[in-house]
Structure 1
Amino acid sequence: MIPTGSLVNGAAIIGGSIIGILLHSRFPERIREIIFQSLGLGVILIGIQMSLKVQDILILIFSLLIGGVIGELLRLDTIFEKLAGKLKKAVGSKDTGFVDGMITASLIFCIGAMAIIGSFEEGIKGDATVLYTKSILDGFAAIALASSYGLGVLFSFIPVVIYQGSLTIFASVFQEWFSPLIIAQLTATGGLLIIGISLTLLDIKRINLANLLPSLGVVIILTAFLN
């Protein structure tokens, strides 16, 4: 199965990033600041809405704890930074915000209800409407992010396509495994991580979200095993 929705999403991120890079010098600092504040407030609302879909809060908490420990032991944050650094070197970029831009944008675009549910919808039903809608939103978000972080945001399309495409293919193969309960728990866990992103965007607290990513896999396993 070809993950068409994810490919379109990646193209939208590339297009939005190019526009943001071209507009970079034309955005005063105060405009970039208000854009990030607006994004932060919007993202925190999305995160709250997603997290309220939780069905078993104890499983969610344990998933975050176990996933966080796994992420720390694997040092996922360091791995992601090294990969982004190698990509920066490969493309010959001297942009100081390349690594931060790529990681921040990747987390924003990947961890969300639309990324998870949209990929499952395409994989299970063959309907990519949610991912097409997400593509439009991500394209505009990429403009704002790239205007501040630069070229790194453009290359966030790589993890987005890989992540969402993998979910789509996985869901198409194992669709009978994904009950409404598992999807709700997965969405709620993603919602809490989304709130973590908003805290970073609002410059309140930088949370090591990269090392919390395994919790998305742990919540699926725990929910399926305990229910």
Structure 2
Amino acid sequence: MVLFGTIVNGLAIILGAWIGMSVKGFSRGMQETVMKAIGLSVFVLGLTMAFEGDEFLLLIFSLAIGAIIGERMNLEGKLNEFGNMLERRLNKQGHSTLAEGFVAATLLFVVGAMAIVGALDSGFRGDHSVLLTKSLLDGFSSIVFAATMGIGVMFSAVPVVLYQGAIALAASWIVTAVPEQQLNQLIDEITAVGGIMIMAIGLNLLGLEKIRVANLLPAILLAVLFSFASRSIGL
């Protein structure tokens, strides 16, 4: 089922938000330990994905050139500016905490490499491991968010399901349109590039490094283009 990982992700957000509104007593130390544990798991998941690719040079070129493009476009900065703009407008217009919780949680759960890579992996390979890992992360985050911002966090599950579901369905359509041998190579390279990005997310969660992961997103598109190009010229 192509949408399995996406549906689980949405349900995890809803369940986490319900727990956050119902149960108190999540200490800062408890939150930090759980987030570190998830960070370690995310890093290991990314490491296993990174070894899927066969073309190491393609991986390097995709990430290096993708990082240059992402930095030039300042994707991470623009995403942060967008979130800050929404928060300012909400505060200025006096919106309730419901709206604030919805916007803040939606930005957290939708904007990021795991949402894109996970949905692509679900659509291409029927492998939901990335989205299931993301579900754990989002579920715990929604507990913390809902405890302070209320029920609006629960409604963020809707854009998450629509966004990730659309990507997964589009990827599953590509599976039927691209020749099998070329598709397998494409999937391997996308998975490897996505794995490096997920490793970066793990490092961020562990607090060991602050990597601007959103600025690496163009590497996914470049991996697709390079894969098609190398196949066309017989490399």
**Shorter-chain-normalised TM-score: which range?**
0.7 to 0.9
Shift of 1:182: 0.6
1:72-113 alpha-carbon deviations (Å, 9 max, x no partner): 2222112211332344444654979x759834774364154x
Equivalence for 1:35: 34
1:39-63 alpha-carbon deviations (Å, 9 max, x no partner): 0111111011000111101001100
2:69 corresponds to which letter in structure 1? Answer: I
**Residues 219 and 23 of structure 1: CA distance in aligned 2, closer, same or farther (over 3 Å):** farther
Equivalence for 1:53: 52
Residue 44 of structure 2: SS of its match in structure 1?
A: helix
Shift of 1:70: 1.4
Contact 1:101 1:146 in 2 (8 A): no
1:142-171 alpha-carbon deviations (Å, 9 max, x no partner): 232233455597637635632441342254
**Residues 180 and 209 of structure 1: CA distance in aligned 2, closer, same or farther (over 3 Å):** same
Q: Distance in 2 between matches of 1:167 and 1:197?
A: 21
Alignment of 1:128-147 (within 5 A): 130-131=127-128, 138-147=134-143
Structure 1 residue 189 and structure 2 residue 193: aligned? yes
1:186 corresponds to which letter in structure 2? Answer: I
Structure 1: runs of 5+ lacking an equivalent: 123-129
Q: Distance in 2 between matches of 1:30 and 1:171?
A: 41
Please identify the structure whose Cα radius of gyration is greater.
2
Equivalence for 1:102: 107
1:10-43 alpha-carbon deviations (Å, 9 max, x no partner): 5324313413532674201111111011101111
Alignment of 1:129-168 (within 5 A): 130-131=127-128, 138-148=134-144, 155=156, 158=159, 161-168=162-169
After superposition, the CA RMSD in angstroms is 3.4
Aligned length: 215
Q: Distance in 1 between matches of 2:195 and 2:225?
A: 18
Shift of 1:71: 1.2
2:193 corresponds to which letter in structure 1? Answer: T
2:167 corresponds to which letter in structure 1? Answer: S
Residue 48 of structure 1: SS of its match in structure 2?
A: helix
Residue 143 of structure 1: SS of its match in structure 2?
A: helix
Equivalence for 2:177: 176
Calculate percent identity across the aligned residue pairs. Answer: 20
Residue 112 of structure 2: SS of its match in structure 1?
A: helix
Structure 2: runs of 5+ lacking an equivalent: none
1:190 corresponds to which letter in structure 2? Answer: G
Q: Distance in 1 between matches of 2:161 and 2:78?
A: 17
TM-score, normalised to structure 1, is 0.77
Contact 1:44 1:195 in 2 (8 A): yes
Residue 204 of structure 1: SS of its match in structure 2?
A: coil
Q: Distance in 1 between matches of 2:106 and 2:59?
A: 28
Q: Distance in 1 between matches of 2:123 and 2:203?
A: 26
